Amino acid sequence: MSASDADQNLLTVPLNDQHVAAGGRMVPFSGYSLPVQYPTGIMAEHKWTREHAGLFDVSHMGPCFLTLNSSSGDPDTDYTDIAAIIEPLVCGDILNLKPGQIRYTLFLNENGGVLDDLMVGRSPLHPGALYIVVNAGIKEADFARLRAAAGDRASLQRADNNVLLALQGPQAANVLSALVPGITDLSFMTYGTFPWGDEDLIISRCGYTGEDGFEILCSPQHAPPLWETLLADERVKPIGLGARDSLRLEAGLPLYGHDLDETVSPIEADLGFAVSKRRRDAADFPGAARILAERDGKLSRKRVALVVEGAPAREGAEILDADGKAIGVVTSGGFAPTLGKAIALGFVPPEHAAIGNKLQVSVRGRLQPAEAVAAPFVPHNYFRKPA
């Protein structure tokens, strides 16, 4: 067995002591020291989240606020102005978000490649403000991009020195509503501000596990009691980054830096839903020419979801067709605890990505059967309020 030790200058999150006290195994991740697992291990944590509620510390991520420098006095005008700052960077319809609504969208480069995926929320309280959460590894570039787009029209307030918790799983709503009664009003992909003690928490009903759940932005000083209070509920256990990754993989959700990068377009990545209709019709987003052509069928590769027989096919494993011809590569893969088998995401020419297609993967030089399946691997369990 080979082992490697990382000695880097790692940042610690405000709840570092709590993770260590809970037996968290701390590892370097995106420049931070974070728990990859707690004593029960990834498999048990994964299953606990699918069946009960898992509490994740995702404080390494990049929450921030973009706020107009001056109000016109008219709420609609203010929102139009703030949406106009971010829309040229992304392919989503931000202008038509309702107050409190969140949208998953993508920063794109001029070639239509994905610079990052992010969440953008329209403030329910301040018409000229957006709540944005970007990925950890590239948040400095994302913040710089937002500042450049804002110029002197708006200001970016980083909130990544706060604590961002994710409470995920079928019991998450019951657990959290006992502390914060109003959260049952939230539907999937909405957020609001909720008092807890003398603090206002920003709580969004979203996450990246495929389960119903919430992300909670909290100040560093209030985070320890919130963490302890949530964990005092027997339905809640702390969950590390290891299970976070296996949960998102089962949910068929792409991970930036693995399944998404600057060369991959939203259409190739099977994220066509993130290219909003209004933006498509206007063709007014970066890389529109490529993305619209790909949407019309002119694409050379497509994200495929694979169920793999035998050993897990990890990132970098070659994908071959049934005849043994190399046709693509795995971008993330591992073991699916819910399914008890190996699964993977990767890219292949579109004709090979059809559901039911028999493919192969090369693991340590050995060919193993794989089948293209519909993503997600495990059905999503998001909470949508009846209309």
Partner 1 sequence: MTTKFTPDHEYIRVEGDIGTVGITNYAQEQLGDIVFVELPAVGKVLKKGDEAAVVESVKAASEIYAPVTGEVVEVNSLLTNSLGTLNTAAEGEGWMFKIKLTNSAEVETLLDADGYADLTL
CA torsion sign for 364, 369, 374, 379 is negative
Q: Where are the alpha helices (DSSP H) in the chain?
A: 16-21, 42-51, 75-86, 139-150, 172-179, 223-231, 241-250, 277-282, 288-295
Give the DSSP letter of residue 90. B
* Two tokens, residue 176: 């959290």
Q: Is 36 or 299 the residue whose CB approaches partner 1 more closely? A: 36
Q: Is 44 or 299 the residue whose CB approaches partner 1 more closely? A: 44
Stretches 39-47, 57-65, 270-278, 376-384: which one binds partner 1 (CB under 8 A)?
Answer: 39-47
37 binds partner 1 (CB under 8 A): yes
Cα–Cα distance, 175 to 183 (Å, whole number) = 10
162 binds partner 1 (CB under 8 A): no
Residue 255: HSE in the Cβ half-sphere, 13 Å Cα cutoff = 23
User: Smallest distance from the beta carbon of 364 to partner 1, in angstroms?
Assistant: 7
Residue 134: HSE in the Cβ half-sphere, 13 Å Cα cutoff = 26
> Largest alpha-carbon pair distance within the chain?
66
325 binds partner 1 (CB under 8 A): no
The 3-class secondary structure across 212-265, one letter per residue, is CEEEEEECCCCHHHHHHHHHCCCCEEECCHHHHHHHHHHCCCCCECCCECCCCC
User: Smallest distance from the beta carbon of 2 to partner 1, in angstroms?
Assistant: 6
User: Smallest distance from the beta carbon of 61 to partner 1, in angstroms?
Assistant: 20
Q: Is 36 or 84 the residue whose CB approaches partner 1 more closely? A: 36
Q: Is 266 or 334 the residue whose CB approaches partner 1 more closely? A: 334
Residue 257: HSE in the Cβ half-sphere, 13 Å Cα cutoff = 8
191 binds partner 1 (CB under 8 A): no
Q: Which residues pair with 256 in a beta bridge?
A: 260
Candidate list 84, 149, 311, 373; residue touching partner 1; CB under 8 A: 311
259 binds partner 1 (CB under 8 A): no
Stretches 63-71, 100-108, 204-212, 305-313: which one binds partner 1 (CB under 8 A)?
Answer: 305-313
User: Smallest distance from the beta carbon of 232 to partner 1, in angstroms?
Assistant: 26
Q: Is 289 or 367 the residue whose CB approaches partner 1 more closely? A: 367
Candidate list 272, 310, 349, 369; residue touching partner 1; CB under 8 A: 310
Residue 38: HSE in the Cβ half-sphere, 13 Å Cα cutoff = 21
User: Smallest distance from the beta carbon of 8 to partner 1, in angstroms?
Assistant: 19
Stretches 124-132, 206-214, 282-290, 333-341: which one binds partner 1 (CB under 8 A)?
Answer: 333-341
245 binds partner 1 (CB under 8 A): yes
Cα–Cα distance, 88 to 158 (Å, whole number) = 21
Locus of tokens 């100040």: 219
User: Smallest distance from the beta carbon of 347 to partner 1, in angstroms?
Assistant: 21
Interacting residues with partner 1 (CB under 8 A): 1-3, 36-37, 41-44, 46, 242-243, 245-246, 310-312, 314, 334-335, 337, 342, 364
